[in-house]
Amino acid sequence: MNGQFKTTAVLTGLVAAFLGLAGAFRSDLWDRTAPVSPIPLVNLSFLSTNTVRTNYADLIRLKADLSDFDCYACHDEKKPPSLRFDTNQNLVIPEEHSDIVMGHGGHNRNNNCFNCHNETNLVLLQTRDGREVKFDYSPPLCGSCHGPTYRDWEAGAHGRTSGYWDRNLGPADRKQCVSCHNPHKPPFPPRPPAPGPHPLRAVVPPTLAQERGP
């Protein structure tokens, strides 16, 4: 009986002690509760699976208005358009194309529209060796100058490929160069980094952290 009484007393004491500690923590008896930082909402742009740009092939697929690509609505089909350059041999962008920023390369040797556009047929592009390329599939034009990057793109190491790697299971969707790069100014636009993972724990104030020590 004596042993059982001691066991009951010890257990009762432990329960009382734990309940007391729980009450103390709950009432913040020591005033050491660190504030819990709110979880910020993630910008929806980080959740989008769209590419940076919508290229001509995408517009065709979406059945969008392609009137902006109708070059011969303004240009004479029988006469190649003329280009104007300033005294520093910089291309003078016509007012009708004021939205275009020529920045393809820092050497200023690629500021000629007809390095890529076919001056005798404005609905086509052309490589340096004279091959004609359609607007809706321009990677061969890009690859005519950017060979190593083009080979990486073909192998799936550059750019973005979705779908199936195993072609026996289904097709692969390899995004074109112009889905991400502006052909007139190809450097990839900077983007803010996505927020890091939330620690899901209270943020301890610096003074309290110093009191607690390492």
- Provide the pLDDT confidence category of residue 88 given band limits of 50, 70 and 90: confident
pTM of the predicted protein model? 0.70
Q: Could you tell me if 107 and 55 are in contact, meaning their C-beta atoms sit under 8 angstroms apart? A: no
Q: Could you tell me if 16 and 143 are in contact, meaning their C-beta atoms sit under 8 angstroms apart? A: no
Task: Return the pLDDT at 34.
Answer: 62
The DSSP code for 116 is: T
Winning range, highest mean pLDDT, from 15-29, 36-50, 128-142, 158-172: 128-142
Task: Return the pLDDT at 9.
Answer: 79
Q: What sign has the CA pseudo-torsion 117, 119, 122, 128?
A: negative
CA end-to-end span of the chain: 48
Query: Is the pLDDT higher at 157 or at 208?
Result: 157
pLDDT-above-70 percentage for the chain: 87
Taking 60 as the threshold, does the pLDDT of residue 214 lie above it?
Answer: no
What are the helix (H) ranges across 50-157?
56-61, 139-143, 147-155
